[in-house]
Amino acid sequence: MSSVTTERRTLVAVEGLNVYLGQSHVLQGVSFAVPEGGVTALLGRNGVGKTTTLRALMGLVPRRGRVLLGGEDITRLPTHSIVRLGIGYVPEDRDVFAGLTVEENLRLAERNGGQRYELVYELFPELRARGRQRAGTLSGGQQQMVAIARALLNDNRLLLIDEPTKGLAPLIVSAVAEVLDRASELATILLVEQNLGVVQRLARDAIVLDQGQVVHTGPAKEFLGDPARLRRFLGVSGDGAHA
């Protein structure tokens, strides 16, 4: 099993993760460790298995291998039990409940009392004002706020966040990055992100996937500063890191 760092405690350990979707062998023995605290970026070209990795951690797709959270084996647990161990999930397509209001979307995410509505409304004041609006009528950026707010509402120790800036205007991207920066003070984040500017701003560590396998783990700065690796595994030039 690869390890991103040796000094910090490991929060998530993934060992030999295999996922088949139909005939496709999407994850081929993926192993990595996510250290506790800060942001770890999960990088790679489109279709290499980043989203599937997050879904496999959540138990949303059938998988083989082992997933440990804080040393506890969660591989055989159903999704709702995994989440109750303290995981917040922001899916790639936001997946807000379009027919429910913003308030109802948040209320649905409540777990075990002690919700952090003050924090959520401090980060996203717009959500308070739009509480009674149906989530399906919100803009893409506002829907992303709802999706992130649902994950931040509970005292989670791990946030799995999948492409939070996808399809958003540059100004909104910056606001989302700021929120994630703040969220990283509260929980460990495993972040799938294509915008390398955001990765550079937030991530301390990076795990890189290629064709369903881990091809690099280490400090994010080291990877982003290596034009040859960027070109090989992400298909971008060194300048992409400053996008």
Partner 1 sequence: MSTFVLLTITGLGLGAMYFLIASGLSLIYGLMGILNFAHGAFLTVGAYATWWSSDKLDARIESIAPRFLISVLIGLVAGMLVAALVELVLIRPLYLRHIEQVLVTVGLSLALVALTQAIWGPTEKPFPAPTWIYDTTTVLDARIPNNTFLEVAAAVVVLAGLLAFLRFTRYGLIVRAGVENRAMVTALGIDVKKAFTLVFAIGGVAAATAGVLSGVHFGSVDPHQGTALLIFAFIVVVIGGLGSILGSAAAAVIVGLVQQWVNYYSSGVGDLSVVLLLALVLLVRPSGLAGKWSVAH
Residues that bind partner 1 (CB under 8 A): 58, 60, 78-80, 83-84, 89, 91, 95, 97-100, 104, 107-109, 111, 150, 154
C-beta of residue 105 within 8 angstroms of C-beta of residue 150: yes
- R_g of the chain computed on alpha carbons: 17
Parallel, antiparallel, or unpaired: how do β-strands 203-210 and 87-90 relate? unpaired
Q: Which is nearer to partner 1, 1 or 98 (CB)?
A: 98
Q: Which is nearer to partner 1, 44 or 91 (CB)?
A: 91
Shortest Cβ distance from residue 138 to partner 1 (Å)? 15
Q: Which is nearer to partner 1, 50 or 150 (CB)?
A: 150
Parallel, antiparallel, or unpaired: how do β-strands 24-35 and 10-21 relate? antiparallel
Shortest Cβ distance from residue 39 to partner 1 (Å)? 20
CA 109 to chain centre: 17
Shortest Cβ distance from residue 204 to partner 1 (Å)? 26
| Alpha-carbon torsion, ordered 185, 79, 141, 230, to 10 deg | 70
Shortest Cβ distance from residue 79 to partner 1 (Å)? 4
Q: DSSP characters for 125-142?
A: HHHHHTTTSBGGGS-HHH
Which residues are paired to 13 by β-bridges?
33, 68
Shortest Cβ distance from residue 56 to partner 1 (Å)? 13
Using alpha carbons, list the distances in angstroms from residue 83 to 80, 99, 115, 141, 239: 5, 23, 15, 25, 37
Shortest Cβ distance from residue 156 to partner 1 (Å)? 10
Q: Which is nearer to partner 1, 4 or 90 (CB)?
A: 90
Map residue 71 onto helix, strand or coil: coil
Q: Which is nearer to partner 1, 42 or 83 (CB)?
A: 83
Q: Which is nearer to partner 1, 154 or 217 (CB)?
A: 154
